[in-house]
């Protein structure tokens, strides 16, 4: 098949059909590339489905360039919602944060002040005002300061991935699920030529995008590249409740919560994550998260734990995304990052432009894969 220009469409194998792989594949496909999405499981069922899925830049102030990239990610989500429809996946209801000790309170208020100076929308109110205007089910002191970031959101990651993958396939792309990449073949000049799968098939390709999440280091090794990754597991719990008592994502003392549909919530805590390596079973950690959530939302007294899982976050060693071409292996690109939910739409668009046009956007200047020594 050839495009209107007479050239054969570029054939791209995207390894990993989570949020980053789906966004890269969708952006490539809508620009005429021939896309093959490859995943060992079903699309969106891995880390994407076990993420807090909070679209934000308020937690990304470690560097201005990383903050700016995440702000662009938020804008790209709004644009994507307008393009493919927002139903079932996009919930721009804002984000709340408060603390129960002076040191933590001082830190988040200082961050809020910094964000305001950067032009990020921030509102500071009291616990009483939040209960009256936004979240009546919360148990929080009247005078405690609460920060609202009104432009933040949460995403149903699995539903978004399903939507994007469905459009890729409907447009003529392929989905190879339930199979793994076993080998990436290169030609005499070192450029990518083939991808061999565990089901015995081999694909002729022009480009490989490594969006394999926690497995990205292994995929990089198939082209003799070292991609150092952090080990940072997190436990996420879903609870079922007869009535959804909260309406937005929030960081309460010791617990993070968000809705996950009409009668379900997602719970997470960095403090609970710290107990994973002590030998505590996920079921016990889920009980702890459930107890912490009931302390903040008493209406959850009758809720029940539905699922819990320990997931491994895909974080390059220095904490920042690894996005773009690897010059030593022509045709090989990486799309590996924590905050994949926030960054997926913008990284998908920018990486598609780099692959198809050879254009490297200034937003990615600080995040090239070659920064990791080989």
Q: What tens digit of pLDDT does each residue of 120-158 get? A: 999 999 999 999 999 999 999 999 999 999 999 999 999
pLDDT at 244 over 70: yes
Question: Do residues 13 and 205 make contact, with C-beta atoms less than 8 angstroms apart?
Answer: yes
Question: What pLDDT was estimated at residue 3?
Answer: 43
Summarize the confidence of residues 2-24 as an average pLDDT: 84
Question: What pLDDT was estimated at residue 63?
Answer: 97
Summarize the confidence of residues 2-18 as an average pLDDT: 79
Residues 6+ apart with CB under 8 A from 254: 100, 269, 271, 292
Ranges of H-type helices in 118-267:
127-133, 157-170, 216-221
Summarize the confidence of residues 364-373 as an average pLDDT: 96
DSSP 8-state class, residue 316:
B
Q: At which residue do the structure tokens 């390059």 appear?
A: 316
pLDDT at 5 over 80: no
Question: What pLDDT was estimated at residue 279?
Answer: 87
Question: What pLDDT was estimated at residue 374?
Answer: 83
Question: Domain segments of the chain: what residues?
Answer: 11-50+157-229+317-371, 95-150, 233-312
Question: What pLDDT was estimated at residue 7?
Answer: 74
Q: What percent of the chain has pLDDT over 70?
A: 98
pTM attached to this predicted model: 0.96
> What CATH class does 11-50+157-229+317-371 carry?
alpha beta
Q: Are strands 249-252 and 95-97 parallel, antiparallel or unpaired?
A: parallel
Question: What pLDDT was estimated at residue 151?
Answer: 98
Q: What does the pLDDT look like over 163-205, one tens digit per residue?
A: 999 999 999 999 999 999 999 999 999 999 999 999 999 999 9
207 exposure class (CB count in 10 Å sphere: 0-12, 13-18, 19+)? buried
Summarize the confidence of residues 51-76 as an average pLDDT: 98
Question: What pLDDT was estimated at residue 2?
Answer: 39
pLDDT at 1 over 70: no
Question: What pLDDT was estimated at residue 6?
Answer: 54
Between CA 231 and CA 247 the distance in angstroms is 32
Enter the tokens of residue 327.
């010059």
pLDDT at 76 over 60: yes
Question: Do residues 12 and 34 make contact, with C-beta atoms less than 8 angstroms apart?
Answer: yes
b/e per residue, 362-371, with b = 16+ CB within 10 A? Answer: ebbeebbbee
Q: What does the pLDDT look like over 313-344, one tens digit per residue?
A: 999 999 999 999 999 999 999 999 999 999 99
Q: Are strands 145-149 and 233-240 parallel, antiparallel or unpaired?
A: unpaired
Question: Do residues 16 and 39 make contact, with C-beta atoms less than 8 angstroms apart?
Answer: yes
Residues 6+ apart with CB under 8 A from 365: 65
């Amino acid at each position: 098949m050839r495009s209107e220009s007479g050239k054969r469409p570029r054939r791209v194998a995207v390894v990993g059909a989570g949020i980053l792989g789906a966004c890269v594949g969708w952006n490539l496909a809508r620009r005429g590339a021939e896309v093959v999405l490859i995943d060992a499981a079903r699309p969106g069922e891995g880390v994407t489905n076990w993420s807090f899925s909070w679209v934000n830049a308020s937690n990304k102030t470690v560097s201005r360039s990383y903050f700016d990239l995440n702000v662009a990610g938020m804008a790209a989500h709004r644009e994507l919602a307008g393009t493919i429809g927002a139903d079932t996946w996009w919930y721009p209801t804002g984000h709340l944060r408060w603390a129960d000790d002076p040191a933590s309170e001082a830190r988040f208020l200082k961050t809020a002040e910094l964000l305001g100076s950067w032009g990020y929308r921030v509102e500071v109110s009291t616990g009483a005002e939040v209960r009256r205007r936004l979240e009546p089910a919360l148990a929080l002191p009247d005078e405690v300061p609460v920060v609202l970031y009104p432009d933040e959101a949460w995403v149903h990651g699995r539903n978004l991935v399903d939507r994007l993958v469905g459009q890729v396939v409907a447009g003529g792309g392929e989905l190879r699920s339930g199979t793994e990449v076993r080998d990436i073949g290169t030609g005499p000049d070192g450029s990518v030529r083939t991808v061999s799968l565990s089901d015995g098939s081999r694909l002729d390709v022009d480009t490989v995008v490594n969006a394999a999440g926690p497995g990205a280091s292994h995929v990089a090794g198939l082209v003799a590249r070292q991609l150092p990754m952090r080990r940072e597991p997190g436990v996420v719990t879903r609870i079922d409740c007869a009535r959804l008592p909260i309406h937005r994502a929030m960081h309460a003392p010791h617990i993070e919560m968000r809705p996950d549909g009409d009668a379900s919530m997602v719970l997470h805590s960095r403090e609970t994550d710290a107990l994973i390596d002590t030998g505590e079973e996920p079921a016990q950690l889920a009980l702890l998260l459930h107890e912490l959530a009931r302390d903040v939302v008493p209406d959850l007294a009758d809720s029940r734990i539905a699922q819990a899982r320990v997931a491994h976050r895909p974080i390059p060693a220095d904490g920042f995304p690894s996005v773009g071409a690897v010059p030593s292996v022509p045709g090989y690109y990486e799309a590996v990052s924590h905050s994949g939910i926030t960054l997926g739409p913008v990284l998908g668009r920018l990486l598609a432009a780099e692959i198809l046009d050879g254009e490297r956007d200034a937003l990615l200047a600080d995040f090239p894969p070659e920064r990791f020594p080989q």
